[in-house]
Structure 1
Amino acid sequence: MPAFNSDGIDIAYLDEGEGEPIFLIHGFASNKNVNWGYTGWVDTLVKAGRRVIAPDNRGHGESGKVYDPEAYGAPTMAEDVRRLMDHLGIERSDIMGYSMGSRISAFVALNHPDRVKRVIFGGLGYGMVTGTGDPEPIALALEAPSLDDVTSTSGRMFRKFAEQTKSDRLALAACMRASRQRISAEDVGRITAPVMVVVGGEDTISGPAQPLVDLLPNGRVLDLPGRDHMNAVGNKVYKQSVLEFLKEEA
């Protein structure tokens, strides 16, 4: 798997297919394979004639692990994406994030608007502005000696997921304490690229989609009835709607 050095941290990434590029930014405690490979996204996009670039965020997957929260934060990880674009010689690209990856994608669009063509925010609605809950119970759950020591519902969910993905739990705890920067309503309104916001109807983490879209100059909603935060990402309607969105002028 290729990798490059981003401000002292090795960032692993996959790069498959040919055609117009799209960057896929995975969610917290996930990785490029779990979020985008196993769910069929990479194959779907490559078959549609796209070049797919999907990094492992710092602290995740095959990328470098850091244990200081100061080394994380969504704006910091957004710069890893921008540096990867530079490394690959890609001037402008579509970008799709899921959950934490949507927050990272939003900072790419805010801080480097000339580099972003279209954006898909999956698994994150108005929680981008209001926040998605206290990160500390999740961080503590990741640091706990075992799952049996965790009582928080959200903490248990993410601890189980981190174990399933064989993640470095201490690196994830540091990331959790830094990665949930809110984006003001005013700044959301400065994202001028076309945006699709995709949220499962049973998602209790992301916040509603419509209030976020109401802030965007060029946004739209895709609701996925019956889907929650964990199972929305592989949905067929989600995939088909994104393919149609990517065909539009931008």
Structure 2
Amino acid sequence: MDLNAPSFQTFQHEGLDIAFFDKGDPDGKPILLIHGFASSALVNWVYPGWLKTLGDAGYRVIALDNRGHGRSAKPHDAALYHPPAMAGDALALLDHLGVASAAVMGYSMGARISAFLALAAPERVRALVLGGLGIGMVEGVGDWDPIAGALLAPSLDDVTHERGRMFRQFAEQTKSDRQALAACIATSRDLLTAGDMGRIAAPTLVAVGTRDDIGGSPQALADLMPNATALDIPNRDHMLAVGDRVFKAAALAFLARYAG
């Protein structure tokens, strides 16, 4: 079984084509992976080795391209990118595949979507891994309005905002639809309250790189939750933490205990 180059399928939800892969042991414990902003299932989960890592551990690995990303539909209407809608795509995928419940792992924006999913349908979530987003889930992650401007600028040479340049370069590398991403960044950052986080009862691992200047403290977020553990991913920034060996080892140990 080739865990390095997955084939994608599509299904429709709310009139949008949503691309996904479903790999690994079909009888294994299911885990649903939700990628971050401007990324894709390939970029977030296949290229950094997560599909192989989880597949080798015996999991059924399911991952979608979020609306606006990868091979999924890319509407330019910002109203379509609020996290509850994107979490709805993920839940619809579980329905489409007949998966009653799964472990859920999200990175960055995907972690936010995962938290909204856990609040909307707690019975569907066996365990949560929230990567790349700590207390920023509640307190915000700074001013991202310049990101939209950077994505829509005529060229990278016109972008002076440091974080804007980073995401513009990333979007160009992934050959993304920059108008769709600009719409997404406008509305996908809805915050959760401390009370919201306190209602997420699923066992949770919150993992953020120690050099991540976006996600915020994993400990501060975990402290709001009834059954959460924090992990510092050593010497990794927001972009590099996702494929880190320490993160993978901790996630595998956590999932072995809680994935059901």
TM-score range, shorter chain: over 0.9
What one-letter code is carried by the residue in structure 2 that aligns with 1:113?
A: P
User: How many corresponding residue pairs?
Assistant: 250
More deviation, 130-139/23-32 = 130-139
Name 1:186's counterpart in structure 2. Answer: 195
Matching of residues 22-101 of structure 1 within 5 Å: 22-101=31-110
Percent identity among equivalent residues?
58
What one-letter code is carried by the residue in structure 2 that aligns with 1:89?
A: G
Deviations 1:185-225 (A, max 9, x none): 00000000000000000000001111101100000011111
Name 1:105's counterpart in structure 2. Answer: 114
Deviations 1:137-158 (A, max 9, x none): 0011100100111111111110
Within the alignment, does 1:148 sit opposite 2:157 as a pair? yes
Which of 246, 252, 258 is the equivalent residue of 1:243? 252
RMSD: 0.7
Within the alignment, does 1:126 sit opposite 2:135 as a pair? yes
- Runs of 4 or more, structure 1, over 2 Å off, are none
What one-letter code is carried by the residue in structure 2 that aligns with 1:178?
A: T
**Unaligned segments of structure 2, at least 5 residues:** 1-7
Deviations 1:154-182 (A, max 9, x none): 11110000001110000000000010000
Q: Secondary structure at the match of 1:247?
A: helix
Alpha-carbon distance, 1:134 to partner: 2.0
Which of 186, 189, 206 is the equivalent residue of 1:197? 206
Distance 1:218 1:162 in 2: 35
Q: Secondary structure at the match of 1:134?
A: coil
Distance 2:234 2:51 in 1: 23
Q: Secondary structure at the match of 1:95?
A: strand
Name 1:16's counterpart in structure 2. Answer: 23
Distance 2:57 2:219 in 1: 28
Q: Secondary structure at the match of 2:257?
A: coil
Q: Secondary structure at the match of 1:248?
A: helix
Distance 2:149 2:97 in 1: 37
What one-letter code is carried by the residue in structure 2 that aligns with 1:148?
A: D
Name 1:219's counterpart in structure 2. Answer: 228
What one-letter code is carried by the residue in structure 2 that aligns with 1:138?
A: I
Distance 1:244 1:225 in 2: 17
Q: TM-score, normalised by structure 2?
A: 0.95
**Unaligned segments of structure 1, at least 5 residues:** none
Alpha-carbon distance, 1:237 to partner: 1.2
Alpha-carbon distance, 1:135 to partner: 2.4
Alpha-carbon distance, 1:136 to partner: 1.4
Name 2:5's counterpart in structure 1. Answer: none
Deviations 1:66-124 (A, max 9, x none): 00100111111000000000000001000000000000000000110000000000000
What one-letter code is carried by the residue in structure 1 that aligns with 2:13?
A: S
Within the alignment, does 1:166 sit opposite 2:168 as a pair? no
Q: TM-score, normalised by structure 1?
A: 0.99
Distance 2:37 2:187 in 1: 12
Q: Secondary structure at the match of 1:160?
A: helix
Q: Secondary structure at the match of 1:171?
A: helix
Name 1:4's counterpart in structure 2. Answer: 11
